[in-house]
Amino acid sequence: MTLRLRCDEVSRLLSERKDSTLPPAERAKLRLHLVMCDACRNVEQQMGFLRQAIQRMASREENDGDSGKDDDKR
């Protein structure tokens, strides 16, 4: 068994949000790769940033979605 993941595997796991559903051993490998690899650490940061931005947008839409809907109705 190898401890090394390839960068394309890591970025795929990160982008599909598989990092939170991985078995602990796989996640450890992912973490290990992120510690060693600057490029993938960048990807992870961007993913986290993107995720937060999307969540913020989604919750904002929920909040003023009700008043907006009536305006659109014809």
d(CA 58, CA 68): 14
Q: Is 32 an interacting residue with respect to Zn ion (CB under 5 A)?
A: no
In angstroms, rounded to a whole number, what is the distance separating the alpha carbons of residues 26 and 55?
A: 26
Which of 19, 27, 37, 47 is close enough to bind Zn ion by CB under 5 A? Answer: 37
The yes or no reply on residue 7 touching Zn ion (CB under 5 A) is: yes
- φ/ψ (deg, to 5) at 22: -70, 150
If binding is defined by CB under 5 A, does position 40 make contact with Zn ion? yes
Shortest CB 43 distance to Zn ion, Å: 8
Give contact residues for Zn ion (rule: CB under 5 A). Answer: 7, 37, 40
